[in-house]
Amino acid sequence: ASSAGKTKKKSSESSVKPDESELRSWIDMCLLNFELNYENFDAIALLNSIFALGKLKIWPGDLLLSRWFSAPQKYFECDSLRFADLARLMHACSQLFFVPSQEFVVRLNDWAPRRIKSEASCVEITMLWGALGRLRIKPQAPLLSASLMKLRTLVKEGNCDGQAVSTFFWAMARMGIKPEGSFLTALSEMLEIVVSQMNSLELSNIMWSYAALGVYPSQLLLKRWGSR
């Protein structure tokens, strides 16, 4: 009985969480280590570090973030970099409200379209476009078109939900990108398919996007919208 009591006490002690000052001290030490050893981190290690900070919403400071994004070739010339990694990186930036350098954005626009076509998932496209919209980073036409075509394919295959399409449209509206012609037709078709899956937030984002861009939804979309 005595041994069991000791085990229970030890378990209780090990589960005690550090106080806020101890946690902050540990984080500061890690950030200092990142700063001092920046050159020794490969692209994936840097991505994971930034993603963790974004997930925890811990601001590492302008200097450290600027250094992390000062050499975009470190990421885009890395053979092991996947589209999922880039989506996570941009999501972290949006959580920290940090806009990467213009050089990084240019490389992103060059690199991402091909990867979207070959490997992007619905969730990853949602992460990327949620970040672009939140940070108001306007994409170039190839990135916009590749995202639309991939989403359209995923929706038709039944591998994409309402959140991805509503986030994509919301981001476009945030940046003032008005869909027209075949682009608007493709977007409307996707919305008509997934509108029945959308929750109230996603529906409100769609309504706001149409209003913000001065675009009218299709009759079929309105009909399916009303029959929910």
This prediction has a pTM of 0.78
**Three-state secondary-structure class, residue 188:** helix
Query: Which pair of structure tokens corresponds to residue 197?
Result: 């899956």
Classify residue 39 as exposed, middle or buried by CB count within 10 Å of its CB (0-12, 13-18, 19+): exposed
Tokens 């919403």 — which residue? 57
**CA–CA gap between residue 148 and residue 125 (Å, rounded):** 10
**CA–CA gap between residue 51 and residue 153 (Å, rounded):** 28
Do 173 and 132 form a contact (C-beta atoms < 8 A)? no
> Residue 13 has what pLDDT?
46
How far does CA 172 lie from the centroid of its chain?
14
**CA–CA gap between residue 106 and residue 89 (Å, rounded):** 15
> Residue 12 has what pLDDT?
44
Q: What is the largest CA-CA distance in the chain?
A: 78
- Digits of tens for pLDDT over the chain (228 positions)? 444 454 444 444 445 555 667 766 777 777 777 666 666 667 777 777 778 778 777 777 777 777 777 666 777 887 788 999 899 989 988 988 889 888 889 999 999 999 999 999 999 999 999 999 999 999 999 999 999 999 999 999 999 989 999 999 999 999 999 999 999 999 999 999 999 888 989 999 999 999 999 999 888 888 887 776
**CA–CA gap between residue 35 and residue 99 (Å, rounded):** 19
**CA–CA gap between residue 66 and residue 132 (Å, rounded):** 18
